[in-house]
């Protein structure tokens, strides 16, 4: 008995001397492209196998009212990395490869914020926040390392010029074999983790897919029951498993926060090549719930209780503020940052008071949610679906009616009015940082 106690004590002392004092937690963001709320086993998909994501959710927190900042690619990523509605910078929707615009140089990205806190930062995957000027690229926006496609994987010849696989600011290869991308990004992320040893690190891994065209890796082709779409999701699931397993096996799990989510809803106009938003209506490009309600899993063993289902309203903008608060960084005060700290119990309990604005394709507010109520001022579907004959605005109780089937506008004119007032004051707020607009925009 004596011997056992002694060796336990020794072990404790040893582990104390090896663990760096007050090591800041590592942060990894795994970001799918066009994956729907319903495209994961633990959200009910019947034929896509996602054992690693399911396990991640069961060991961590699963969100059920988690939104992307936008139903479209560029705007969504802008919100994730800045904590702000991109429209505050006159920014929105999707950039083309030849667009003269890019992320505003004054934005302080999550990577810049973490770098200033002593983090080593790396990004592997899709950027899509500007490419025509070097200052728009990841290395100039807080990332020490970058490798990936700088925009969507369908912006390729013959419609567009050759797509580069960038390494830092340089082109490594043109029109790379997309079947190798998921494995490549995963391997780069693992290499970076190995390199960082005792330094805190931030990795942002925005996968190229399941954005169409779908290119599953060789080992995954034809392996899922759900066709190419399922093959691609199952490869992403494998990638998540590789990263979590590495953290588990190397004693890093309890010092690494990993967040998985997607940039917007499924691209349903692509038919079988697009995904599923589960019980939600519509998909990518739409401000119906299917356009922005995302699978979201937060994994951090020892810090996040296993198996917790979180029904609070949250969004990718909150990742910025949550991580900033976590590492003790100051949030910029010369601009509006919309994200809240999701770990703050005060903010979490104010759930019912929180508003969330849904921006449509012309960068104006199409809908607003406050607590359980959602008001549509305008609606749009890429499929051309007209879901209601009722006149706008439409009002839904999302708690009772998550599928937005029963318009209650006539029954609750007072709620309609209240939500319209919120939209109006939010729109007035929108112009508070005029110098955040790019030159192109101001001319």
196 is catalytic: no
Give yes or no for residue 188 binding a second copy (CB under 8 A). no
Which one of 19, 171, 362, 406 is in contact with a second copy (CB under 8 A)?
406
Give yes or no for residue 45 binding a second copy (CB under 8 A). yes
Which one of 309, 333, 434, 443 is in contact with a second copy (CB under 8 A)?
309
73 is catalytic: yes
Give yes or no for residue 213 binding a second copy (CB under 8 A). no
Give yes or no for residue 49 binding a second copy (CB under 8 A). yes
Question: Cβ atoms within 10 A of the Cβ of 145, count?
Answer: 18
Q: How far is the CB of 250 from a second copy (least distance, A)?
A: 24
Give yes or no for residue 278 binding a second copy (CB under 8 A). yes
Quick one: CA torsion of 290, 291, 292, 297, rounded to 10 degrees?
Answer: 60
* Given 73, 211, 376, 380, the catalytic residue: 73
Alpha-carbon span 76 to 264, nearest angstrom: 7
Sign of CA dihedral 33, 141, 87, 330: positive
* Given 45, 128, 211, 376, the catalytic residue: 128
What x/- string results for residues 310 through 339 when contact with a second copy is judged by CB under 8 A? -x----------------------------
Give yes or no for residue 43 binding a second copy (CB under 8 A). yes
Residue among 71, 54, 90 at smallest CA distance from 381: 71
Query: Which range in 45-53, 171-179, 203-211, 427-435 contacts a second copy by CB under 8 A?
Result: 45-53
Say if strands 120-124 and 201-206 run parallel, antiparallel, or are unpaired: parallel
Alpha-carbon span 437 to 395, nearest angstrom: 33
Query: Which range in 21-29, 36-44, 139-147, 178-186 contacts a second copy by CB under 8 A?
Result: 36-44
Question: Cβ atoms within 10 A of the Cβ of 79, count?
Answer: 29
Give yes or no for residue 307 binding a second copy (CB under 8 A). yes
CA 102 to chain centre: 19
Query: Which range in 53-61, 165-173, 186-194, 419-427 contacts a second copy by CB under 8 A?
Result: 53-61
Which one of 197, 198, 249, 272 is in contact with a second copy (CB under 8 A)?
272
Residue among 216, 288, 208, 297 at smallest CA distance from 258: 297
- 399: part of which helix (H) or strand (E)? none
E-assigned strand segments in 41-174: 61-63, 66-67, 120-124, 145-148, 164-167, 170-174
Give yes or no for residue 41 binding a second copy (CB under 8 A). yes
Residues 69, 363 contacting (CB under 8 angstroms): no
Sign of CA dihedral 255, 183, 233, 219: negative
Active site residues: 73, 128
Q: Which residues bind a second copy (CB under 8 A)?
A: 37-38, 41-47, 49, 51, 54-55, 58, 64-65, 225-227, 229-230, 271-272, 276-279, 293, 307, 309, 311, 372, 397-403, 405-406
């Amino acid at each position: 008995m004596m011997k056992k106690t002694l060796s336990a004590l020794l072990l404790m002392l040893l582990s104390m001397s090896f663990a760096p004092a007050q090591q800041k937690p590592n942060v990894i963001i795994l970001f799918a492209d066009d994956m729907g709320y319903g495209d994961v086993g633990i959200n009910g998909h019947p034929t896509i196998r996602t054992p690693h994501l399911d396990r991640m959710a069961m060991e961590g927190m699963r969100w059920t009212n988690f939104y992307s900042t936008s139903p479209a690619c560029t705007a969504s990523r802008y919100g994730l990395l800045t904590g702000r509605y991109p429209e505050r910078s006159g920014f929105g929707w999707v950039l083309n490869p030849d667009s003269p615009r890019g992320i505003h140089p004054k934005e302080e990205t999550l990577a810049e914020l973490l770098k200033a806190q002593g983090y080593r930062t790396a990004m592997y995957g899709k950027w899509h926040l500007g490419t025509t000027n070097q200052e728009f690229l990841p290395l100039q926006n807080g990332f020490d390392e970058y490798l990936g496609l700088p925009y969507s994987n369908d912006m390729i010849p013959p419609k567009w010029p050759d797509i580069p696989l960038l390494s830092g600011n340089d082109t490594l290869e043109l029109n790379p074999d997309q079947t190798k991308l998921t494995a490549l990004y995963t391997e780069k992320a693992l290499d970076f983790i190995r390199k960082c040893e005792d330094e805190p690190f931030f990795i942002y891994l925005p996968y190229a897919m399941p954005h169409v065209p779908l290119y599953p890796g060789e080992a995954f082709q034809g392996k899922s029951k759900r066709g190419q779409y399922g093959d691609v999701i199952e490869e992403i699931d494998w990638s998540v498993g590789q990263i979590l397993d590495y953290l588990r096996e190397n004693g890093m799990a309890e010092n690494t926060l990993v967040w998985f989510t997607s940039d917007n809803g499924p691209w349903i106009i692509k038919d079988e090549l697009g995904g599923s938003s589960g019980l939600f209506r519509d998909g990518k490009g739409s401000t119906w719930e299917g356009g922005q309600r995302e699978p979201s899993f937060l994994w951090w063993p020892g810090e996040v209780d296993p198996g917790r289902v979180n029904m609070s309203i949250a969004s990718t903008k909150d990742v910025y503020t949550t991580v900033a608060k976590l590492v003790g960084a100051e949030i910029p005060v010369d601009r509006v940052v919309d994200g809240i700290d999701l770990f703050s119990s005060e903010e979490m309990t104010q759930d019912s008071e929180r508003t969330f604005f849904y921006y449509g394709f012309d960068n104006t507010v199409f809908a607003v949610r406050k607590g359980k109520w959602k008001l549509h001022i305008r609606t749009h579907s890429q499929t051309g679906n007209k879901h209601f004959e009722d006149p706008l605005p439409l009002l839904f109780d999302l708690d009772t009616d998550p599928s937005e089937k029963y318009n209650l506008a006539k029954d609750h004119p007072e709620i309609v009015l209240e939500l319209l007032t919120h939209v109006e004051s939010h729109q007035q707020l929108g112009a508070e940082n005029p110098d955040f607009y790019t030159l192109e925009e101001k001319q």
